[in-house]
Homo-oligomer: A and B are copies of this chain.
Amino acid sequence: MKSLEISEVVKRSGLPASTLRYYESLGLIESSGRRGLKRLFNPSVLERLDIISLSRWAGFTLDEIGDWFGRDGRVAIDKAQLVQKADEVEARATQMRALSKIIRHTSQCPEENHLECDNFRKLMKIARRHRPTKEATTKVR
């Protein structure tokens, strides 16, 4: 299995080298060795970076994501915990769709003040029902 230099991983993953080093420092990825000082990466790192990016995008913290990866390079996370996460993400997706509807409606509503539009209020109510009660959510960028 060919090793990749960091520049190659940068090119293929789209992530800057600083981020890769940062992720490594957190234990989210690992380099397979060094040539001189230079890190070498196993190509499988690319798949892992995909999972990380996607999960970050969905609102998981690096901390949470880190928990998923065992020492041996396998995805190791408790089944029940995974199912719960899946539910969480799905609920979030549902709410996003509600918001999208609210926004789309807002763009077309003739009512001059949207707060006075019944349809708008109704959508808000639906969205509110799906709102996290406490502080379930995380950060994304």
Contacts and interface: CB of A to CB of B under 8 A. Distances in A.
Contact-residue bracket for chain A? 35 or more
B96 A92 contact: yes
A47 interface: yes
B54 A82 contact: no
A101 to B, nearest CB: 8
A40 to B, nearest CB: 19
B107 A58 contact: no
A127 interface: yes
A124 interface: yes
B90 A96 contact: yes
A141 B141 contact: no
Chain A, interface SS category:
helix
Number of copies: 2
B96 A93 contact: yes
A99 B60 CA distance: 11
B82 A89 contact: no
Interface of A: 44, 47-48, 50-51, 53-55, 57-59, 73-75, 77, 79, 82-83, 85-87, 89-90, 92-97, 99-104, 106-108, 112-115, 124, 127-128, 131-132, 135, 137-141
Given A93-B96, A140-B139, A128 B50 contact: yes
B82 A104 contact: yes
Contact of A140 (B112, B127, B137): B137
